Structure 1
């Protein structure tokens, strides 16, 4: 297993801009997989893992430098609900890292001069386990210890399997974000935390974004903070809120919006018109100017979007 965790932190510290991948689940749906299931993309981990490796490989070919594992919805309680025992479930989580690493090694074999590539272990929110769209509302309340008990086994398994960094993503709840920061420190991990939003200045549960950013600044292992799976325009506005923080409270920002479509949690389907592949690339310079160092796409974005974004980032660096 190739490990590049120190290089990831060093790249951010040096101000390097790293292109993330795009939507995994929606890309699998586009390739014919039915994800109308409480496990969402984790269903494919169980049934057709090679398809996940193929999507990772296509994102690397498009210019992504980070592959995010298919473990977003692969929590131990969720897998137990499918009938898996604890060790089986942990094996599924570890397997998600091996699939991303397989794609990384395959890409490096084709392109030995490529820059360092990274594997981010996806840690989705408790709301994803509920499988009712709660990751866009954050209307649940657990104690700190309950959040830690829910997230710890999966996060630890991702790190044990060789993930370079944790992607604590689509977090809608301020208390959950704080608990994840505690877990990152406990595990000695490196991670980014990205949240969903009610509006430009508040997480989905109403927590002020600025307040959370101030609390997380300087927390051990929290390398970047930002937003994901919100419409691009809202992501732009939220980055403005974070960029306006005092320099002592700022950290590298992460941004990977969805394609701007609506989501029907009941039907587990996205609605709206198709977007242009330049959707992300057209915003890259503005994001970078506000301090974004990790840039990519979320649901309904594709390898074509990431290819255009990668070209835009390379142009900025020339």
Structure 2
């Protein structure tokens, strides 16, 4: 993993970074059943070719960065599903290999019409391992030191995997983000972006102001970018502006599609029509205002597709 900031390097050649979209949506479209505590990570063992296929679709659509299928992949989680510790470690690192293979099938050495895409190894929050929705609440039963120990093994496996950087994403609390910075400090040269889930235009999921998060992370070694993901479209512009008030790092945003999730039925539904709403209806509809607020990377989270990312890439190409 490079000691320099790979996001800043990519931004030297592009007006903004196009991040990929949802993995689960596309896997389900390919017929995969993800109703499992391991979510898409289960397919690292059962259908790795499907994961590679989805990564390739996003690269072909124009994504500059793929986020790996390791969000819910942990050694304890895989062992609870009946695998050995060694099998679990191999599957976690396989998540990076699959994304690299997809990139190499699309981007060839010497290609000049686009920057070489990045592979960001996903580090999902402790709440994703619990599989109880607490990545949208926080309030864990672990303190900062406990979170460091929870994240350590996967963090080190992914650092050794050859990924360009880590993506610590959907974090609901500043304490968990600071645990990630503790691990970065233990590994000089390691690079990671940190993105939070947010409940409104000013606060992350546990209620901490996003400005406080940006201020706390702004000068931490190894933090390559800060931002928000898995958040409603309407909140993105104000969240970006708040981060920029406290931080000069690149700001990344990859919100949800605009649909609403029912945590009880575990189903998605169209958002109710609100003629008074001022927020964008999709990624391309929001990109101009997000860039104006200070965003440097834009992609999609839940329920977004390669078509959404293709539209983003085409919009950028038209600049």
TM-score normalised over the length of structure 1: 0.91
By how many angstroms is 1:205 displaced?
Answer: 0.8
Q: Distance in 2 between matches of 1:262 and 1:112?
A: 40
Matched residue, 1:108: 107
Cα distance per residue 1:159-199 (max 9 Å; x no partner): 21101011000001121111112112222311110001122
Kindly report structure 1 stretches of 4+ aligned residues shifted beyond 6 Å.
none
Pairwise mapping of residues 177-256 of structure 1 onto structure 2 (< 5 A)? 177-188=177-188, 189-245=190-246, 249-256=247-254
Matched residue, 1:140: 140
Matched residue, 2:87: 88
Q: Is the 8 A contact 2:120 2:165 kept in 1?
A: yes
Cα distance per residue 1:26-62 (max 9 Å; x no partner): 1111221111100001011111000000000000000
SS of equivalent residue, structure 2 residue 39? coil
Q: Distance in 2 between matches of 1:288 and 1:5?
A: 27
Matched residue, 1:272: 270
SS of equivalent residue, structure 2 residue 20? coil
Cα distance per residue 1:202-238 (max 9 Å; x no partner): 1111112111110101110101111000111112221
Q: Distance in 2 between matches of 1:12 and 1:109?
A: 16
SS of equivalent residue, structure 1 residue 202? coil
SS of equivalent residue, structure 1 residue 26? helix
Matched residue, 1:313: 316
By how many angstroms is 1:282 displaced?
Answer: 1.8
Q: Distance in 2 between matches of 1:4 and 1:149?
A: 24
Q: Distance in 2 between matches of 1:178 and 1:270?
A: 32
Q: Distance in 1 between matches of 2:108 and 2:281?
A: 29
Query: Is 1:304 the equivalent of 2:298?
Result: no
SS of equivalent residue, structure 2 residue 199? strand
Q: Distance in 1 between matches of 2:149 and 2:82?
A: 20
Matched residue, 2:47: 48
By how many angstroms is 1:287 displaced?
Answer: 1.5
By how many angstroms is 1:125 displaced?
Answer: 0.3
Report the CA distance shift for 1:58/1:4 in structure 2 as closer, same or farther (over 3 A): farther
By how many angstroms is 1:296 displaced?
Answer: 0.4
Aligned residues: 310
SS of equivalent residue, structure 1 residue 199? coil
By how many angstroms is 1:314 displaced?
Answer: 2.4
Matched residue, 1:164: 164
Q: Distance in 1 between matches of 2:169 and 2:272?
A: 24
By how many angstroms is 1:4 displaced?
Answer: 7.0
Moved more, 37-46 or 112-121: 112-121
Which ranges in structure 1 are unaligned for 5 or more consecutive residues?
none
TM-score normalised over the length of structure 2: 0.91
Which ranges in structure 2 are unaligned for 5 or more consecutive residues?
274-279
Moved more, 208-217 or 287-296: 287-296
Matched residue, 1:37: 36
Q: Distance in 1 between matches of 2:138 and 2:292?
A: 30
Cα distance per residue 1:48-94 (max 9 Å; x no partner): 00000000000000000101100000012211211222211110000
Q: Is the 8 A contact 2:199 2:231 kept in 1?
A: no
Q: Distance in 1 between matches of 2:272 and 2:284?
A: 16
Q: Distance in 2 between matches of 1:230 and 1:65?
A: 21
